[in-house]
Structure 1
Amino acid sequence: MSRYTITVTGNHRADSDAIIGYDPPLRTFFLQAFPDESGDDLALWLGTSDREYETLHALHAAALAQGFDFTPLPDDVAARLAADVAAEADRPPHDGPLPALPRHLQTK
């Protein structure tokens, strides 16, 4: 799983320690930002389901729909995310009982 620090804006504030990345087992991009005071809860957490956001464009659209933005994405982060996805392209899907469990639970 890749994790890169970026700035996410929303609701007239900014989180310069937000995390964007790619989760190979779930085959999705994810975004985490704006932790609460305890650090345990997040105001924004996208990309927790199998194949939820297969492109950065889809992730960006979901963030915008919730009133958050992470563009412009730094060039080096965008390049590393593209490399992360490309590195996973030749791997077979993560099948078996453990990776199948989240997919099974999502259908219920």
Structure 2
Amino acid sequence: MSRYIITVTSSDGRSDADATIGYDPPLRTFFLQAFPDEAGDDLALWLGTADREYETIDTLHAAAQSRGFDFMPLPAEIAADLIADLAAEADRPAQDGPLAALLRHLQSE
């Protein structure tokens, strides 16, 4: 799993300079985490927790914007690294074991 630190802004003017974006190979999705609460236990924004939820950076960006958050423009180096992370995992077989089946079942409920 790749993880890169970026800045995420919110529509109410807040900014999280320690937000995390990355690619999760087992779930085959890009993810974004930002704005932890004061205890650090909960996030105001956590996208990319389901199988193939965000297969492109553009779909992740659109989902963030629909919730009042933005992370564009990405630094060029991070954008290139994310695309490379995705490409490196392109031939990874789908998870078909019992744990993957359980995860798919839980996500369908």
Instruction: Name the TM-score, length of structure 1 as normaliser.
Output: 0.96
Amino acid at match of 2:72: T
1:94 equivalent in alignment to 2:95: yes
Secondary structure, counterpart of 1:83 in structure 2:
helix
Residue 94 of structure 1: how far off its partner (Å): 1.9
CA distance in 1 between partners of 2:25 and 2:100 (Å): 11
- Gap runs ≥5 in structure 1: none
Which residue in 2 is equivalent to 1:23? Answer: 24
Secondary structure, counterpart of 1:8 in structure 2:
strand
Which residue in 2 is equivalent to 1:45? Answer: 46
User: 89-98 or 23-32: which moved more?
Assistant: 89-98
- Gap runs ≥5 in structure 2: none
CA RMSD of aligned residues (A): 0.8
1:54-81, CA deviations, whole angstroms, 9 ceiling, x for partnerless residues? 1100000000000000000011111110
Residue 13 of structure 1: how far off its partner (Å): 0.9
1:26-61, CA deviations, whole angstroms, 9 ceiling, x for partnerless residues? 111100000000000000000111111111000000
CA distance in 2 between partners of 1:19 and 1:96 (Å): 29
Aligned residue pairs, count = 108
CA distance in 2 between partners of 1:41 and 1:60 (Å): 21
Instruction: Name the TM-score, length of structure 2 as normaliser.
Output: 0.96
**Could you tell me the percent identity over the aligned residues?**
74
Which residue in 2 is equivalent to 1:105? Answer: 106
